[in-house]
Amino acid sequence: MARRPTRKRRQTGRRKARRPSRRAAVPRGWVRRYWKHAALGLLIVLSAYVFYLDLVIRNRFEGNRWAVPAHVYARPLELYVGMPLNVRQFTRELDLLGYRYAYQAAQPGTYSRDGSRFWVQTRPFTFWDAREPAHRAKIVLEQGHIVSLTDPTSGASLSLLRMDPVFIGGIYPAHHEDRVLVKQEEVPAMLPAALVALEDRNFYTHHGVDLRAIARAMWANIRAGGTVQGGSTLTQQLVKNFFLSNERTLWRKANEVVMAVLLELHYDKPEILEAYLNEVYLGQQGKRAIHGFGLASHYYFDREVGELDLARLATLVALVRGPAFYDPHRYPKRLRERRNLVFDVMAEQGLIGDAERDKARQQPLGVLDDRPSGITPYPAFMQLVRRQLQRDYREEDLTSEGLRIFTTLSPVVQTEVETALAHVLGRLDRRQKLDGKLQGAAVVTSTVGGEVLAVVGDRKARFAGFNRALDARRPIGSLVKPAVYLSALEQPGRYTLATPLDDSPVTLRSDAGDTWQPRNYDGKSHGVVPLFVALSRSYNQATVRLGMQLGLQNVVSTLRRLGVEREVSPYPALLLGSLSLSPYEVTQFYQTLAAGGFHSPLRAIREVLAADGEPLQRYTIRVEQVVEPVTAQVLVSALTETMRTGTGRAVSHWLPADFTVAGKTGTTNDLRDSWFAGFSADHVAVVWLGADDNQPTGLTGASGALGVWGDIMARIPTRALRTPVLGEIEYAWVDAQTGLLADRRCPEAAQLGFVKGTTPTEKTRCKPSGRSSAVDRTVDWFRGMFD
């Protein structure tokens, strides 16, 4: 800026000296004298600029050309004879995979079906350990199980079939550009041929710019009195998409031409075409920009690009001209006309025959209404995946390196959990007149290894808002009690499930002189009860007394071992669940109980692969024994009693009476939180219901969350708990009134586990009327200890 006025003054001075009266003629003289210098200077500047453009092009083309978001997959479904799976769940998985129903399943990604018999042709897929080729299989389902798995050609039985995994979403950078990279050999040959025929006939002969095409376009535009045809080559279009903005200026056009020529100088035609196939913009879904034929094929048709038929392929070629102008949902007629033009041009160029063209013209567009969202349908689970990934990966690697993340999500379980939550929650909301305020969250994991199978963080599972499953920390109420009773049972010399506990009113005084008088939920005291009854019926008074005997630090340490990582304050109210945890944290705690005292950190990710399929990282099953297995099993036997006769007994509405499960209800003050946590042999599930503003909902754990939990367990393929055969444990029938041995036919007899040598020896005679003869003596003995 400082130099320009100086030069101007000098020039003005000269002009004044020579021709003071004819100022306009001065520049001409100047040009005459200096034009060679100026031209040279311009040439130098231009050369430098071209050199710069060349550098830009080569930099972009040599390195990673695209920031490819990480793509996240569900667990692959592994089929084997005996596997629990019903027809509804299997068809849903096939739907989510985008497998197409066909009369004869001959192409990868197709299936045919006759009742509960399926013929499937799987897609090949690269996993951590191997590339799974495409398989043909016949699968027969009966009564919720696979009863036969064979190769339909040879009839030979297959031991195991790993299907490709469902794509569940991507991790996008800020500009939301999404793509699935394809190589030219993966693309049907007809696609580039059609593209060239439509967009750039001389692609294989020109050097980046096609002057004849430009002239033709100009002539067409003049005749039409506006822009109706473009003369850009595919190379120019690629350059425009790659490096330049959308503005229509001469300067941009000049850049485009120069860069197109440079690109052609450095790279061969197939390489340029492949880049074009991956770069071209083909659609928009909200903020997400759909780039490249690989992704567009998934987005519009939910199939691999290699699976595109002629009609679909032509539709995509038609969209190249303007995805918004030819939007298949807003302007289907317009798109169809353009697509049919593609057929015409293809026929004209000899790519297809006339008969083929006429047949293809009749085809519908075939664009999906319910388009697979790159913005995941499982936002709560994806959030968990992102959090776990962020421990090991940088944000920019997640959004640009094309990582492939294999997670533990089971779409089968997730769908059932979403349905159960929405269904029960809607009903409860109406019944309690909560005006849609009732919210809920649920987490389901596999007992083995703590794999997270499903996460729902909102009553509207697709809503990616506040994730209650991970972030809503609420007091857990009686869910804490198993930790209190486990602390007791870890002293088998002192406590067994039959040990009498005093459930009379209790008053605690703090050092400051405050008093605390916890009450039972029903407002009654139950006198002396066996320990397992106090747990299964969730008596507060007995629990507080027991916890104080054990010592609060003892209970805190048990919680810590079970997997509660959050700071826990050793106040007496802890014994009734003043501790606030998220449903996810509660799941970790109950996971350890379900696994028989073995702690496994919950995992949402199994493996991470680089874009080229190279294995990067594996998150293995980790198991640590934190409780003696025998003690854990003793506790589990009491938690099954909760479900049979205690606070969880309403589960019989959902599960058959002989289907053994274990669990615990949780309710907080004024019925603000309704919890249920429990497990079968294969699954741990935790459900929370409540209102975001923490207002009472009128629901207890049993009248609220248990309903969702029961519905989940009834829907998912899971097995009942079985009585483990451990050397150190024995099972006995015990009377719920007295804690003495009882006949199994007694009305209040419960089958419970005992560490060998601690089983009650005295037997009681049960009477239909209730109290047995030995009860008074037991009470006397108990009172004698504490009075």
Partner 1 sequence: MLRKVALATLCVAAFLAGCAAPPDKPEREGFEPDGGEATGKESIRPGTDTGPAVLALLDEARGAAKAGNLNTAQLQLERALRIEPDNPVLWHYMAKLRLHESRWKEARSLAAKSNTLAGADKRLQADNWRIIAHARQGMGDERGARDAQATARALQPQ
Q: Which are the catalytic amino acids?
A: 199, 478
Q: What letter represents residue 435's amino acid?
A: D
**Helix segments in 647-746, DSSP class H:** 705-715
Name the DSSP letter for residue 207: S
Write out the binding residues for partner 1, residues 681-720 only, by CB under 8 A. Answer: 681-682
Which of 70, 83, 686, 699 touches partner 1 (CB under 8 A)?
Answer: 83
Binding part of the chain for partner 1, among 348-356, 548-556, 612-620, 648-656 by CB under 8 A, reads: 612-620
| CA–CA distance, 590 with 481 (Å, rounded to integer) | 11
Between CA 663 and CA 679 the distance in angstroms is 6
Q: What Cα–Cα distance (Å) separates residue 160 from each residue in 80, 145, 148?
A: 5, 14, 11
* Distance in Å, CB of 632 to partner 1, minimum: 9
Provide the token pair at 45.
């500047």
Q: Is residue 624 involved in binding partner 1 (CB under 8 A)?
A: yes
State the minimum distance, in angstroms, from the CB of residue 502 to partner 1: 34
Which is nearest to 539 in space by CA: 564, 519, 565, 554?
Answer: 519
Q: Are 677 and 643 in contact (CB under 8 A)?
A: no
For 780, residues 6+ apart whose C-beta sits below 8 A from its C-beta are: none
Sign of the four-CA dihedral 388, 394, 398, 404: negative
Out of 80, 204, 219, 325, the only residue in the binding site for partner 1 (CB under 8 A) is 80
Long-range contacts of 3-6 (CB under 8 A, 24+ apart): none
Rounded distance between C-alpha atoms, residue 388 and residue 391, angstroms: 6
78 contacts partner 1 (rule: CB under 8 A): yes
Cα–Cα distance measured from residue 720 to residue 725, given in angstroms and rounded to the nearest whole number? 15
Closer Cβ to partner 1, 220 or 623, answer by number: 623
Whether residue 661 contacts residue 678, with contact meaning beta carbons closer than 8 Å, is answered with yes
Q: Which stretch binds partner 1 (CB under 8 A): 79-87, 90-98, 641-649, 671-679?
A: 79-87
The per-residue DSSP string of 603-649 comes to: BSEEEEE-TTS-EEEE-----EE-S-HHHHHHHHHHHHHHHHTSTTG
625 belongs to the binding site for partner 1 (CB under 8 A): yes
* Contact between residue 644 and residue 720 where contact means Cβ atoms under 8 Å apart: no
Alpha-carbon distance values, 454 to 381, 585, 689 (Å): 7, 14, 17
By CB under 8 A, name the one of 6, 159, 507, 769 that touches partner 1.
159
Residue 725 makes contact with partner 1 by CB under 8 A: yes
Stretch that binds partner 1, among 8-16, 156-164, 195-203, 379-387 (CB under 8 A): 156-164
Name which of 447 and 764 has its Cβ closer to partner 1: 447
Q: Which is nearer to partner 1, 622 or 756 (CB)?
A: 622
Q: How many residues bind partner 1 (CB under 8 A)?
A: 32
Site string for partner 1, 106-145 (x = CB under 8 A): ----------------------xx----------------
Pick 520 or 633: Cβ nearer partner 1: 633
Q: Which of 82, 493, 523, 784 binds partner 1 (CB under 8 A)?
A: 82
598 part of the interface to partner 1, by CB under 8 A: yes
Could you list the beta-strand ranges (E) of 89-220.
Answer: 100-101, 110-114, 117-121, 125-126, 131-132, 136-142, 145-150, 161-162, 167-171, 177-179
According to the binding rule CB under 8 A, does residue 622 interact with partner 1? yes
Q: Which stretch binds partner 1 (CB under 8 A): 152-160, 248-256, 700-708, 733-741?
A: 152-160
Residue 50: CB minimum distance to partner 1, A:
51
Nearest CB to partner 1, comparing residues 79 and 258: 79
Q: Is there binding between residue 508 and partner 1 (CB under 8 A)?
A: no
Contact between 81 and partner 1 per CB under 8 A = yes
Binders in 446-475 for partner 1, by CB under 8 A: 446-449, 451
Residues in the chain: 787
Which residue's CB is nearer to partner 1, number 158 or number 213? 158
340 binds partner 1 (CB under 8 A): no
Q: How far is the CB of 137 from partner 1 (least distance, A)?
A: 13
Selected from 620, 656, 768, 784, the binder of partner 1 by CB under 8 A is 620
Does residue 674 belong to the site contacting partner 1 (CB under 8 A)? no
Instruction: For residue 534, state whether it binds partner 1 (rule: CB under 8 A).
Output: no
Shortest approach of partner 1 to residue 146 CB, angstroms? 10
To partner 1, the closest distance from the beta carbon of 731 in angstroms equals: 15
Could you tell me if 518 and 544 are in contact, meaning their C-beta atoms sit under 8 angstroms apart? yes
Contact with partner 1 (CB under 8 A) among 368, 623, 650, 779: 623
Query: Please, are residues 454 and 413 in contact by the beta-carbon 8 Å criterion?
Result: yes
244 near partner 1 (CB under 8 A): no
Nearest to 374 by CA among 180, 187, 183, 181: 180
- State the burial class of residue 60 (Cβ atoms within 10 Å of its Cβ: 0-12, 13-18, 19+): middle
Q: Compose the 629-648 pattern: x for residues touching partner 1 by CB under 8 A, - for all others.
A: x-------------------
Of 378 and 598, nearer to partner 1 (C-beta) is 598
- Give the C-alpha separation, 561 to 630, whole Å: 16
CB of 320 to partner 1, least distance (A): 42
Residues 269-328 that bind partner 1 (CB under 8 A): none
Nearer to partner 1, 46 or 621 (CB): 621
Helices then strands (H, E): number in the chain? 24, 32
Instruction: Quote the least distance from Cβ 679 to partner 1, whole Å.
Output: 12
DSSP 770: B
Residue 660 backbone class (left: φ over 0; alpha: ψ -120 to 50; beta: rest): beta
CB-CB contact of 165 with 406 (8 Å): yes
Give the interface segment with partner 1, choosing from 108-116, 483-491, 577-585, 624-632 (CB under 8 A): 624-632
Largest CA distance in the chain: 135
Helix (H) or strand (E) holding 317: helix 310-319
**Which of 457, 596, 648, 739 touches partner 1 (CB under 8 A)?**
596
Q: Which residues bind partner 1 (CB under 8 A)?
A: 78, 80-83, 128-129, 157, 159-160, 446-449, 451, 596, 598, 607, 615, 618, 620-625, 629, 681-682, 724-726
